[in-house]
């Protein structure tokens, strides 16, 4: 039977979140210390732990079928692979940064300057698009130190919280792109592996939908049920259960976490009481 080969980082910022996603999808891994390849017992999948920078090439070459990788890395490496699902974790941005005593945020600051980066292709395309000519110095790591040792006038690197920039006396000025972890696939999967990928995607989407939703239940006077039902952004219609106290019912539904406080305020104003919010583990639509 075919097995879907998936690559994840063997270490780094995506590693723990990738393993947690697999676990949430019911894929259990019994890997020993320092194993680079593991076969999953309860799903037709093999996991390969690879160096982050190598994953796009392995994916394009078909050594692995799919991979959990940063979108920013795929853009930088310019490989012929397909993004099939954004995963919502390890969000970051690729940005320009300058020493904090530089007051301007204008991109023109970089005209004729030296920029240190681990993302030369992404940076060059951005500079070309904005008619900026700069000297790009490619550094594989510790890009933030370049201005302090006189190697560059600024840097281009990934930024999450910005704390690393702050510690090195830098500040962010211009964002080139935003990124998050994605599931990407090789373009030449056979029919069997495509079916396995569809099953895996089904599980991922159930997990992601649950993380972005909350289960809500509340007590409502019966005469307020029509109003409350209109407020709730439900999948189909809310569940209404009569309570022991005459004239009251319990309404159950699902809300998008992004609308959480907006909906809660509307529900209270419409007569809902004893509102409970419960996390959802999986959500299959």
For residues 26-39, average pLDDT = 79
pLDDT tens per residue, range 231-275: 886 656 788 999 999 999 999 988 888 887 888 888 888 999 999
Which conformational region is residue 236 in: left (phi greater than 0), alpha (psi within -120 to 50 degrees), or beta? Answer: alpha
Identify the residue whose tokens are 């539904």.
253
| DSSP-assigned states of every residue in 190-250 | -HHHHHHHHHHHHHHHHHHHHHTEEEEEEEEEGGGHHHHHHHS--SS--EEEE-SSTTEEE
- Whose CA is closest to 254, among 270, 222, 278? 278
Say what the pLDDT of residue 33 is. Answer: 55
Say what the pLDDT of residue 70 is. Answer: 95
In a domain, 285, yes or no: no
Q: How much is the CA Rg of the chain, to the nearest whole Å?
A: 24
pLDDT at 191 over 80: yes
Long-range contacts of 24-32 (CB under 8 A, 24+ apart): 24/207, 24/282, 25/200, 25/203, 25/204, 25/207, 26/203, 27/203
pLDDT tens per residue, range 74-96: 999 998 899 999 999 999 999 99
pLDDT bucket at 229, cuts 50 / 70 / 90: confident
pLDDT at 32 over 80: no
Cβ neighbors of 42 (< 8 A, separation 6 or more) are 26, 27, 28
Number of structural domains in the chain: 3
- Whose CA is closest to 56, among 185, 204, 197, 188? 185
Q: In which domain, by residue range, is 147 found?
A: 92-179
Say what the pLDDT of residue 235 is. Answer: 58
Are 141 and 188 part of one and the same domain? Answer: no
**Whole-number Å distance between alpha carbons of 228 and 225:** 5
- Whose CA is closest to 138, among 121, 155, 116? 116
Are 111 and 159 part of one and the same domain? Answer: yes
Cα torsion 248, 254, 260, 262: sign: negative
Tell how strand 66-70 and strand 82-86 pair up.
unpaired
The DSSP secondary-structure symbol of 78 reads T
Say what the pLDDT of residue 129 is. Answer: 96
Cβ neighbors of 94 (< 8 A, separation 6 or more) are 72, 119, 122, 156, 157, 158, 159, 175, 176, 177, 179
pLDDT at 31 over 80: no
Are 197 and 67 part of one and the same domain? Answer: yes
Say what the pLDDT of residue 264 is. Answer: 85
pTM of the full predicted structure? 0.84
Task: Answer yes or no: are the C-beta atoms of 117 and 95 closer than 8 Å.
Answer: no
Say what the pLDDT of residue 141 is. Answer: 79
pLDDT bucket at 11, cuts 50 / 70 / 90: confident
**Whole-number Å distance between alpha carbons of 158 and 119:** 9
Helix (H) or strand (E) holding 173: strand 170-179
pLDDT bucket at 282, cuts 50 / 70 / 90: confident
Are 166 and 221 part of one and the same domain? Answer: no
Tokens describing residue 28: 């259990």
User: What SS3 class is residue 272?
Assistant: coil
Q: Report the percent of the chain where pLDDT is more than 70.
A: 97
In a domain, 125, yes or no: yes
Here the CATH number for the domain that contains residue 142 is: 3.40.190.10
In a domain, 262, yes or no: yes
pLDDT at 63 over 60: yes
In a domain, 114, yes or no: yes
First to last CA, the chain: 29
Say what the pLDDT of residue 131 is. Answer: 96
**Whole-number Å distance between alpha carbons of 123 and 116:** 10
Rounded to the nearest integer, the mean pLDDT of the chain is 91
Say what the pLDDT of residue 236 is. Answer: 67
pLDDT tens per residue, range 110-153: 999 999 999 999 999 999 999 999 999 999 878 999 999 999 99
pLDDT tens per residue, range 166-187: 999 999 999 999 999 999 999 8
In a domain, 284, yes or no: no
Here the CATH number for the domain that contains residue 252 is: 3.30.70.120
């Amino acid at each position: 039977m075919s097995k879907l080969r998936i690559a994840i980082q063997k270490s780094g910022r995506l590693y723990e979140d990738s393993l947690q996603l697999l676990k949430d999808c019911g894929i259990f891994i019994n890997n020993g210390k320092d194993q680079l390849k593991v076969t999953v017992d309860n799903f037709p999948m093999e996991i390969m732990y690879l160096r982050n920078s190598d994953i796009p090439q392995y994916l394009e070459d078909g050594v692995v079928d799919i991979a959990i990788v940063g979108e920013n890395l795929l853009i930088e490496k310019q490989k012929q692979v397909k993004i099939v699902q954004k995963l919502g974790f390890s969000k970051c941005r690729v940005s320009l940064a300058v020493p904090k005593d530089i007051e301007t945020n204008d991109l023109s600051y970089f005209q004729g300057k030296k920029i240190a980066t681990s993302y030369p292709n992404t940076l060059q395309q951005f500079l070309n698009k904005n008619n900026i000519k700069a000297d790009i110095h490619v550094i594989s790591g510790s890009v933030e130190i370049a201005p302090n040792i006189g190697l560059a006038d600024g840097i281009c690197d990934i930024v999450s919280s910005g704390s690393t920039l702050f510690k090195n006396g830098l500040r962010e000025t211009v964002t080139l792109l935003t990124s998050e972890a994605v599931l990407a696939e090789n373009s030449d999967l056979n029919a069997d592996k495509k079916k396995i990928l569809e099953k895996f995607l089904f599980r991922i989407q159930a997990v992601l939908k649950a993380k972005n939703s909350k289960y809500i239940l509340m007590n409502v006077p019966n005469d307020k049920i029509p109003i409350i039902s209109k407020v709730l952004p439900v999948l189909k219609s809310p569940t209404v259960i009569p309570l022991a106290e005459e004239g009251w019912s319990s309404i159950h539904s699902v809300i998008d976490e992004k609308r959480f406080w907006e909906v809660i305020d509307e529900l209270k104003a419409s007569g809902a009481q004893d509102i409970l919010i419960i996390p959802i583990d999986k959500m299959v639509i």
